[in-house]
Chain A
Amino acid sequence: MYVRTGLWAAGLGLAVAIAAGSAGAQTPKRGGTLTYVIPADAPPSFDGHRETTYATVHAAAPYYSVLIRVPPDNPASTTEFVCDLCTEMPTPTDGGKTYTFKIREGVKFHDGSKLTAQDVATSWNYIVFPPKGVSSARVSYYEMVDKVEAPDDTTVVFHLKRATNAFLPALADPYTWIYKKEILEKDPHWFEKNIMGSGPFKFVSYEVGQSIKGVRNPDYYHKGQPYLDAIVGIFADKQSVRVDALRADRAAIEFRGLPPSARDQLVKEAGADIVVQDSDWNCGNILTPNHKKKPFDDVRVRRALALAIDQWKGAPALAKIANVRTVGGIVFPGSPLAATKEELQQMAGYWPDIEKSRAEARRLLKEAGVEGLKFELLNRNVDQPYKFVGTWAIGEWKKIGLNVEQKVVPTGPWFSNMRAGTFDVVLEANCASVVNPLLDTGKYLPAKVYPENYGQFDDDKSVELYEKMQTEIDPKKQRDDMRAFEKHTLDTMVHEIVLPYWYRIILERSYVKGWKISPSHYLNQDLANIWLDK
C-alpha cells in the first residue's frame, strides 16, 4: 500500500506534508546502517560554502552542524526555524537589526577539539565576506548583513544594515556548515577535499564517484541522536539504477525526488515495502521570453504565450507523469505570501475559462501580426521536470497555432545561451532551499538589479514595487505589496510565465523511520533523526 502524505487542498493549492505512517508514535530503535542513493555523480567538492549542488549536501551534511535550521521534525514548515548549535532562537534587538545567538557549550568537533562561538563567527564571516581567493556561493543572500562577531566563546552577534524578514530564512540555509576556525584560517580550501565537522556522523571514507561512508558521532549534542550506527551514500546518477536499487533493497531511500512513474512502478512491485512521502517543491518552472528578440518585445505576444497554457487542467494531468503539481504564482504555494487561487485567476495564464483565454491569445497574436509564429523553446537536457514541462508547453502553444521547436541542450550551453541572451523563449527553474519569498522573488527583477534574470528587459516600475515589498515589515502589508509586484510581473508586463511548481516524491523502504519530507531537497539532510525499524 502506498501512503499519500501530501494532501492537496484544491482551494488554496496548498500542500501539507504529514508524517508518514505513525512514525511519531513509535519509539525510535537504535542501530543499523542506512544505505541511501545520491542521485548525482561525484560533487566537485565537499565545501558547502563554495558549492551549490545538492550532491554536496546529500553527501556531507550528516557530518556538519549549522547555526539554525528548519525544524527536523517539521521541515515542511515555511516559517519556523530552530536552533542547531545555538541554545535559543533570539529575539532581534536594535529595531530588528541585531541578532544575538547563545552557542551551545560542550560541542566537540570530530577531531576532539571544542567548538566555540569563534568557530561559528569565523565560518559565517567566510560565508558572508569571503576573503580574496575564497569562493562563497551565496554572498548575495546576506547583503543585509553588516557584521558578524563573537564577543565571547558562547555568543555570536549578527549586525544587520536594516531590519528585514529575509534574514532568518537566509540564516537557516543548509550549506552554512560550521568549520573549525583554526583550519579555515590556515587553509580556506581544506574543506574542499576533507570533511571534519561536529555533526551527527563522523566521516569514515570516500570512494570518488562511488560512495561515502560515516559512523555515529558518540559525542553528538542532540541527546539520543543519531539513532543509526552508520550511513552509506552511494552515488547513482541514472534514475533506473536508483529505482531498481530501492526495489531490490540495495538502497533504503533517495532524498532528491523521483518521478511519478517511479512511484507507480515501485508501489506496484514492492507494495507495502515502499512508503511514499510527497510535497510541493520550492522550485518554480519559469518560461522566460527574450524581450530583446522580436516579437517577444511585444507584451501582447508574451501575454498570448501565457494565455494559451491551460494550467488548471494541465497541472493535475502533468502530475501523473512529471515532478510538477501545484499551480502557483511567483511565491511558493501555501506559504503566507503566496497568492490564493482566486488571486491567481485574475492574472494572464490562470484564467478559469481556457476557451476564453485561448480566444484572447489568438486575438492578441492577430493584433500583433504574428499568427502561426514559429520559434524555439530553449530547454535543459534534464528529463524531470524540464523536458516534460517543455513538451507540455509546446503542445499547449500548438493549440493557438504556434509552431514551436524544442531546443534541448546540456546544462553548460543552456546557461550560456541564457546569459548571452541567445534564445527565443527559455524554460528555467527557480530552485531555492529555505522558503524565503523576499529573496526568491528577486529572480523576477530586471537583470540590472538581479543579474540572474535572463529576460533581457529593463523595468523601473518592477524594481520600485519590489523595493517597496522588500522593506515592508508588516506581514499583511507585505503580502499586498507582493500581490502588486506579482500582478505587474506576470499579468501587466508578462515578463515571465510561471508554470506549475515542482513536486517532490520521496520513496523509501518501509523500515526507514523518522525522516520527514520538506519542500526542498537541500533541507533536513543531516539524517540524525532517522532510525530503522527492522
Chain B
Amino acid sequence: MTVVAPNPAKVLSEETLVRERTPLHLALDFCRRKPLGTLGLVIVLVIMAAGICADWIAPFDPEENDFNAMMQAPSLVHLFGTDQFGRDIFSRLVFGARTAMLVGFGSAVGGGLIGLVLGVASAYFGGWFDLVFQRVLDVLMAFPLIILALAVVSVFGTGVFNVMIAITIPLIPRCGRVVRASALAVREVPYVDAARALGFGHARIILRHMVPNVVAPFLILLSAFVGQAILAEAGLSYLGLGVQEPVAAWGLMLQGSAEDYATTAPWIAIFPGLAIVFTVLGISLFGDALRDAIDPKLRDR
C-alpha cells in the first residue's frame, strides 16, 4: 500500500503560520470557514458533556429494571420512552455516551499512540526492525477483526475494557503505517541528522524531533479512529461480542432492539441508532474540517 507522504516543508510552514495567531482567532476563523466542521465539533462536545455529566443529567438509574414500565412510549417522564426492561432510554443514552466516549476515545488514543510510537521507531531505525514491523503490520491489517475480538472476549470476557482491547488492536497497524510514511519523509531532514551527529539518544531524537512532525496526520487519523471505534463496538454488539447488559452502551441497545422492536416499539430501536449516527457524523465532519485546515494534501486513509 502506498501512502503519499506530506511535504515536510509544507507542514513546517503551516506550523509557523499557526504559531503567529491566537487560539481564539484561530477558532473563530475555523468556525467561519468550516461551518460543517463547527457543527461536528458542537455535536462532539455535547456528547462528551453528556458522557461526563451523566450522573447529573440522567433522571433514572440506567441499569434499574422496572417491570411496571416496560416498553413505554416517549412521555414527559421518560423523554425517549423505556426499553424492554422498563429502563429509561434517555438515561441509558446519556450513560451510553460515557461508554461510547470511553470506547471511542480510549481505543483511538490507545491504538493511535501505540501506532505512533511504533511507526516512528520503525521509520527511524529502519533496517531489520522496519522490515519485521512492516510484516507484522501486514498481518494485523489483513486479519479479520472478528477472530481477534472473539479471542479477547472469550479469554477475558466482555467487559468494556476488553472490548476496547479488541477494537484497539486493528487500529494500531493503520496508524503505524501512515505515521511511518510521514516519519520516513522527515528522517532525512538535516536537523535530525544533526541531532544524531550530536549524539542524542534515540528516544530523545524520536520524541523531540520526529514525533512533532507527524502530529498532523496523526491527529487526523485519530479523529477518524474515534468514529470507527464506536462503529466497531456496534458491529461487535451485533455479533454478541460487544459490551454486555446491563451496562448502558449504544451498540448493545441497538443490537437486540433493531431486530425486535423496529415496528412495535420503534423508540427503542431509533434513539440509540440516531445517537451512533450523529456522534460518528459529528466526529467525521470535525475530522474532515481539521484535515482541510491542517493540510489539504493529506488523504483520509
Contacts and interface: CB of A to CB of B under 8 A. Distances in A.
Q: Do chains A and B touch in the complex (CB under 8 A)?
A: yes
Nearest to B242: A408
Interface string B81-92: 000110000000
Most buried by B among A268, A317, A376, A394: A317
B134 interface: no
Nearest to B153: A409
B67 interface: yes
Given A395-B246, A406-B245, A313 B240 contact: no
A154 interface: no
Interface residues of A, number: 39
Contact of B264 (A261, A379, A390): A261
Contacts of A318: 67
A318 B67 CA distance: 8
A405 interface: yes
Interface string A124-146: 00000000000000000000000
Interface stretch (B52-60, B180-188, B253-261): B253-261
B159 to A, nearest CB: 7
A474 to B, nearest CB: 42
Contact of B244 (A240, A262, A320, A406): A406
B7 interface: no
Contacts of B246: 391, 394-395, 406
A265 B158 contact: no
A413 B67 CA distance: 32
Interface residues of B, number: 28
Grouping DSSP codes into helix (H, G, I), strand (E, B) and loop, the A interface class, with mixed when no group exceeds half, is helix
Contacts, number: 86
A428 B70 CA distance: 26
Given A321-B85, A409-B153, A410-B240, 18 more contacts: A240-B258, A240-B259, A261-B264, A265-B260, A265-B262, A268-B263, A320-B70, A320-B71, A321-B84, A383-B256, A388-B84, A395-B63, A395-B65, A398-B64, A406-B158, A406-B246, A409-B154, A410-B241
Nearest to A387: B245
A325 to B, nearest CB: 14
Contacts of A437: none
A239 B64 CA distance: 27
A457 interface: no
Contacts of A395: 63-65, 85, 246
B70 A317 contact: yes
Interface in A376-412: 376, 379, 381-383, 387-388, 390-392, 394-396, 398, 405-410, 412
Interface in B152-186: 153-155, 157-159
Interface of B: 63-65, 67, 70-71, 84-85, 150, 153-155, 157-159, 240-241, 244-246, 256, 258-264
A238 B240 CA distance: 12
Contacts of B84: 261, 320-321, 388
A88 interface: no
Nearest to B255: A383
Contacts of A268: 263-264
Contacts of B85: 321, 391-392, 395
Nearest to B155: A413
A314 B67 contact: yes
13 contacts: A238-B259, A269-B263, A391-B65, A391-B245, A395-B63, A395-B65, A395-B85, A406-B158, A406-B245, A406-B246, A407-B157, A408-B245, A410-B154
Contacts of B244: 379, 387, 406-408
Given A395-B85, A407-B158, A410-B240, A264 B64 contact: no
Contacts of B157: 376, 407-409
B63 A398 contact: yes
Nearest to B66: A395
B154 A412 contact: yes
Contacts of B153: 409-410
A501 B159 CA distance: 28
A117 interface: no
A243 interface: yes
Contacts of B158: 406-409
Contacts of A405: 159
A318 B65 CA distance: 11
B70 A410 contact: no
Contacts of B260: 239, 259, 261-262, 265
Contacts of A269: 263
Given A269-B263, A406-B244, A317 B159 contact: no
A97 B244 CA distance: 52
A408 B163 CA distance: 12
Contacts of A381: 240-241
Given A261-B261, A313-B67, A321-B70, A390 B245 contact: yes
Contacts of A390: 245
A392 B70 CA distance: 13
A238 B255 CA distance: 12
Most buried by B among A268, A376, A382, A395: A395
Nearest to A269: B263
Contacts of B259: 238-240, 243
A243 B245 CA distance: 24
A320 B67 CA distance: 10
Contacts of A239: 259-260
Nearest to A244: B259
A239 B153 CA distance: 23
A239 B183 CA distance: 48
In the A-B complex, the 4 residue pairs with the closest CB atoms:
A395-B65, A317-B67, A261-B260, A240-B259
A30 B159 CA distance: 55
Nearest to A313: B67
Contacts of A391: 65, 85, 245-246
Nearest to A265: B264
A395 to B, nearest CB: 4
B65 A392 contact: yes
Nearest to A239: B259
A261 B246 CA distance: 19
A317 B246 CA distance: 17
